[in-house]
Amino acid sequence: MSGFRHRRHRMANPTRNGRALWGALKRNLPAYVGRRRRHARRSLKPRYFIDPEASAKRMWDLLLTFLVLYTTLVVPYRVCFQVEAGGGFAVIETMMDVAFFIDIVFNFITGLQLPSGEVSYNLRVIVKAYLRGWFTVDFFSTLPFESLAKLFGVGNNAHAALLSAKLLRGLKVLRLFKLARIRRLGKVFANLEDAVYTNQSLISLAKLALTMLFIAHLVACLWYAVGKTDSEESWLISISLDPAGLVSDTDSLQYVRSMYWAIVTMTTIGYGDIVAHSNNERLLNIGVMAVGVSFFGYVIGTISTLVTNLDVAAARYDERMTVVKEYIISRRMPKYIGNKIRHHFEYFYQNRSVFKERRILKRLPSALRNEMIHHVHSKIVSSIKYFVNCPESLISDIVMAMRPFAVLKDEYIYVEHEIAAHVFFIIKGKVQLVKTVRRGKEDTRLATMSVGDHFGELEVYDHDHGNGVRICSAVAKSYSELTFLSREAIQKISVSWPEVTKHFRETAATMASSMWRRVDPSVFDTTKKPVPLVPVFHKSVDITDVVAKTSIMNSKVTPSRPARIAPFMPIDTSPFRPQTIPEESGDVGDQQSSMTEQITIPTPSKQPDLSPVAKLR
């Protein structure tokens, strides 16, 4: 029993008690209306709130992202190199602080995205979540420490001036709190990974490169600051002295040297041209090398993994093609056969995903699954004429069961007397169905198929023509791209869609009536002697027995029923040795090896003609 119970509400009967009905409505109507209003407040965006998915909000976040990048580069440089903004840069940086302050206000009225995917516009929930989250970081990173520092002027005496200078320097150092804005970049990259459908390894490489540059930038600024403030002999003094003994290099040149030292130290190269001279510099050098070793190892390992996974599909494609090539080599196949096999698999994997696509599709709802299949295989869906009036679910089932392949001009798709086990669909090119009816004569063209047509169902579903054996050959008249459905796949699809089998039976009957009109009727004249047949037998079979069986079979063969001669091949037809058709109760492997034991032949009344034996010898 389920834990849920259905509760029945007793409704007043208006025919018996109208007042009771009106009383029930009066009691329930306010609660119902209030419930609807609360639902509307939750589902609809209030007027003065901001939708986090709105395009204007996305543009605002993009603008703040560029401002954050500017802050992470400029603030460490200004603090460590003691360079103040002047002119237009001062105005720009003041406007940046105003923009970040406005963003704090926006965060209090921006809808909160819940883990379920819904957006909450409850003001109490939004304020509580923001105050517990990033409000403190955003507030202190937005405070104008430069303006606060200017409020502390220099005092009248030397002691006050010293305290004011120290406080001013400390307030300027507090500007490094603005680096906390870098946390926005993590959110931006997360949204970028969701919004941009590109290789995820490229985004990861971009994040890693930005992280390396940011850390190197911080180390370079810190290295210069230590050399600048150190009272002892520092690297800055030793490397920048001119002949007069004065430091003459500009700040930009010193930054380049600091960046050079930071990179060679973090990567554990250390050329030794810029070295530490004071104890403070040595301590910083030790810390940078310790961090650099760990970070460099992490970077190398991450880059190796990302480069390997940069194109997972290409890596899996190369792996599978390597297996195919190794198989061809191990079997010592001729070069022309190996090339055909290799080209087949190249085309197959280029048109089919190397991933486990079926496992992914099984976890999708039917509507999304159909949409995905129709997009990925749009060329197949738009090319096949049978799909015009089919439901989307049926098209998806058929497309996922298809297997693509390609053939060159004048290559055979199948030949006469083969087992008919597939139905073919033309995506590109042209195919002709031909039949050999006379030795030395040209093949009779039965039909020409073009893009969108399907063929091969005649022998599969029409028991009067072929009954499971190919009665004609299919040859490509140009480079052709095809897909095929196996008989087993059609049977599985027909369990849910019986119209598929019905369609193939109808098209098989139509094709049979139109194709055989083009064949010379004298070919199927039963009064003429049939073409002698050569049986498929093993060397251990008695030749006299074979001749007897051949004579009897030739006397029983009727040209109008090609399925009867499936295990045999006419002398003047295709050079391919046909396969043996298994009986319903027999096994495929045992059928060919025990053919002589399965056929019981009476003793002939006269001695058989041994002329075919001489030809065989």
Distance CA 424, CA 412 (A): 13
What per-residue confidence (pLDDT) applies to 596?
Answer: 34
In this prediction, residue 518 carries a pLDDT of 57
pLDDT, one tens digit per residue, over 379-418 is 999 999 999 989 999 999 999 999 999 998 999 999 988 9
Mean pLDDT across the stretch 212-224? Answer: 90
Of 253, 190, 179, the residue nearest 220 (C-alpha): 253
First vs last Cα of the chain: how many Å apart? 81
Say which residues have a Cβ less than 8 Å from residue 506's Cβ, sequence separation at least 6. none
| Alpha-carbon gap, residue 168 to 175, rounded angstroms | 11
User: What phi and psi values does residue 432 have, to the nearest 5 degrees?
Assistant: -115, 140
Residues 6+ apart with CB under 8 A from 171: 145, 146, 148, 149, 152
CA distance 491 to 471: 22
Look at 28-32, 395-399, 428-432 and tell me which has the smallest mean pLDDT: 28-32
Paired tokens of 176: 């490094």
pLDDT at residue 298 greater than cutoff 90? no
DSSP letter string, 129-194: HHHHTTHHHHHHHHS-HHHHHHHS---SSHHHHHHHHHHHHHHHHGGGGGGGGGHHHHHHHHHHHH
How far is it, in rounded angstroms, from Cα 547 to Cα 552? Answer: 9
Give the number of other CB atoms < 10 A from CB of residue 132.
9
Name every residue whose Cβ is closer than 8 Å to that of residue 287 and which is 6 or more positions away in sequence: none
Q: pLDDT at residue 246 above 90? A: no
Distance of CA 462 to the CA centre of its chain: 41
Overall average pLDDT of the 244-268 stretch = 79
Q: 150: burial class by Cβ within 10 Å (0-12, 13-18, 19+)?
A: exposed
Q: Where do the structural domains in the chain lie, given as residue ranges?
A: 36-196, 369-524, 533-616
Of the pLDDT bands very low, low, confident and very high (cuts 50, 70, 90), residue 164 is: low
State in words which class domain 369-524 has. mainly beta
Q: What mean pLDDT comes out for the span 35-43?
A: 44
User: What per-residue confidence (pLDDT) applies to 519?
Assistant: 56
Average pLDDT, the chain: 73
Whether residue 426 contacts residue 482, with contact meaning beta carbons closer than 8 Å, is answered with yes
Q: Tokens standing for 27? A: 């009691």
Q: 560-594 pLDDT, tens per residue? A: 433 333 333 333 333 333 333 333 333 333 433 33
CB atoms within 10 A of CB 374: 17
Q: Does position 436 have pLDDT exceeding 80, yes or no?
A: no
